[in-house]
Structure 1
Amino acid sequence: MRYVDIGGSGLLGSTVALGCMRIASLDKAELVNLLGVAVDAGINLFDHADIYGGGRCEEVFGEAFRSVSVRREDVLLQTKCGIRDGFFDFSKEHILASVNGSLSRLGTDHVDLLLLHRPDALVEPAEVAAAFDELHAAGKVRAFGVSNQHPMQIELLRRHVRQPLVTNQLQLSVAHTGMIDAGINVNMTSPGAFDRDGGVLDYCRLHGITIQAWSVLQYGQIEGTLLDAEQFPELDRALRDTADQLSVTPAAVAVAWILRHPARMQAIVGSTNAARVASLAAASDVELSRPAWYEVYRAAGNRLP
């Protein structure tokens, strides 16, 4: 397993992280096994959000983690806040209440990273700054980031908050490549030239913000898995051929495709199957060649100019 210094924060996170959005469906023994397998595979970053399972995912994680043979200081716990029932909320009051709730459910006195989940159109950056200051001073949060935000939204926050914003969690897979397409189709009129993200990929690289890719095995707006999908026969063939050459699974190749990008991203995998998590963790040690990377990209239906 390879590790990355997340946004220059000094927090070393595994390039493959475990997303915990679906773990509430597991019984304790299954979850203890899943976490143990993940840790044994070198995964040390566990991604949560206060809304996952209505808070139940954090709760069952906290209960199971106490039965896993790993020290709290050897893992990174990350959670997100800001999504409420029918609206978004980056108010100081909600951020503080959300973090306190997450800490209680996780059974810890701090989280290593706190991310603002979906952008709040009514955000008051000074309130966010005040909340971050209070949480950081109290030792409840070590580092901060955002999720699904474009460069100007991040710039607005950076003008007010004193702590660095070290990560931005963004949807990315070989079948959802908008922020890569725009950088390839420069000065073109092709569909791939349309920039929906404000140049967020290059922005994050310029500012040392670590991108955490989510839905790494999905296509569209979470329309389904790209593996064995009838819409992507050429991609399926390319993933399988490359997997055979590298002695890994096609899913691991799809994750390795993301990790090959020089932005030094992290990939969040959300499987609750322990064996599958172990196979996906192997992607961290796969180095795709430049021709192989482009072959997979083109097999997904992307045309080069």
Structure 2
Amino acid sequence: MTAHNAVPADGTPPGPDDRLVYGCMGLGGDWDRTPYTVADVDRAEAAVQAALEVGITAFDHADIYRHGKSETVFGEVLARTPGLRDRITLQTKCGIRLADGSRPGHYHLAARSIVQRVEESLTRLRTDVVDTLLLHRPDPLAAPEEIAEALHSLHRQGLVRQVGVSNMSAAQIAHLQARLDLPLTVNQLEMSLARRGWVEAGVLLNTPAAGADGFPEGTLEYCVDHGIQLQAWGALARGRYTGTEASPAADLLRRLARQKDTTPETVLLWWLRRHPARIVPVIGTSRPERIRACRDAAFHEPDLTHEEWYALWIAARGAPLP
């Protein structure tokens, strides 16, 4: 597998990984403000090492994960492993403010807030640059010109190499890109066999079910046409099909895994990667054994026929296609 991590000799920035990304939301202990422990760092280190073993070199963060503790324990792992930072790419997100006392949870993409959040993430991650910064959610009150100003400033200072978005539609991306000199390189969306709006939005056109899922039709096509990498968060569907639960989709997944001498996790990820949009799954589990179960999805092209891909889709839908 080709690693997209070290900065090339000509100074051009690295691109995001093109097969799998490891999502670090599960690292750092509980979702509260209690301090992290040495055991939390040990668990993070075990997860990172498992990800590296299966060929994953891109790591995804957000400033809010575990109230910042996910980034902090990852920074501890980097400190424990000299040279690791040069072998990986780091991606983080900003723009969500968690509820705190009387303050409601909300989105905040004012220029000053973006810059401050990135500086705080760099401190926690113990690095001087983020390879890719994503805007976590659209902020209806943020002026796109102000967002562009902040992103340009961070890039000029060498604090951010590339920029992208998360949970945005084609129209929202185009609206921001029109005011931004830097190309938006990533759009991270929830996509999996369980959350199928990204694929059903197109085929359900001209049916009564059109738009029922809420996925903005045309977003995948826009991203492909503009060279924006599609990253799928929630790619393993939170274990819905790969645990002990019995369902038509889970049973078929296990049967295909046995036939292909691989794991159900791999087949689940192959289902995403088989799509011509070249979707890059984000693996969010913190369990090393489950990360290792994704190995064939990182090292091998998807081994799913046209009919097998559709069979999984229909089994998960629980109903025939229109």
Q: Same fold (TM over 0.5)?
A: yes
Task: Give the distance between the partners of 1:264 and 1:4, measured in 2 at CA.
Answer: 16
Which is worse superposed, 34-43 or 183-192? Answer: 183-192
Q: Is residue 2:203 matched to residue 1:184?
A: yes
Partner of 2:23: 19
- 1:292 alignment partner in structure 2: 308
Pairing partner for 2:233 from 208, 214, 234: 214
Q: How big is each residue's C-alpha offset from its partner over 1:63-116, in whole Å with a ceiling of 9 and x where there is no partner?
A: 012223653222110000000132111100000000000000000000000000
User: Is the partner of 2:256 in helix, strand or coil?
Assistant: helix
How far apart in 2 are the matches of 1:161 and 1:40?
37
CA RMSD of aligned residues (A): 2.3
More deviation, 168-177/17-26: 17-26
**Structure 1 match to 2:296:** 282
TM, length-normalised to structure 1: 0.91
Query: Corresponding residue for 2:273?
Result: 259
Aligned pairs for 1:52-63 within 5 A:
52-63=65-76
Q: Which residue of 2 aligns with 1:34?
A: 47
Q: Which position in structure 1 is the counterpart of 2:102?
A: none
Q: How far apart are residue 278 of structure 1 and its match? A: 1.4
Report the TM-score when normalising by structure 2: 0.86
Quote the Cα distance in structure 1 between the aligned partners of 2:205 and 2:215: 13
Alpha-carbon deviations, 1:156-181, whole Å to 9, x = none?
A: 10111110001100001111111201
- The 1:12–1:50 alpha-carbon spacing in structure 2 relative to 1, beyond 3 Å, is closer
1:2–1:260: structure 2 CA closer, same or farther, 3 Å change rule? Answer: farther
Q: Secondary structure at the match of 2:91?
A: strand
Q: Which runs of 4+ in 1 moved over 6 A?
A: 2-5
Match of 2:62 in 1: 49
Matches within 5 A, 1:125-204: 125-190=144-209, 196-204=215-223
Q: 1:98 to 1:104 in 2, by over 3 A?
A: same
Identity, % of aligned positions: 38
* Equivalent in the alignment of 2:36: none
Q: Which runs of 5+ in 2 are unaligned?
A: 6-11, 30-38, 99-104
> What is the deviation of 1:19?
0.6
Return the alpha-carbon distance in structure 2 between the equivalents of residues 52 and 22 of structure 1: 8
What residue identity is the alignment partner of 1:303?
P
Structure 1: gaps of 5 or more residues: none
Aligned residues: 298
Task: Report if the CA contact (8 A) 1:112-1:141 is conserved.
Answer: yes
* Partners of 1:17 and 1:45 within 8 A in 2: yes
Is the 2:4–2:57 Cα contact (8 Å) retained in structure 1?
no
Structure number with higher strand proportion = 1
Decide whether aligned partners of structure 1 residues 156 and 192 sit closer, same or farther in structure 2, where only a CA change above 3 A counts: closer
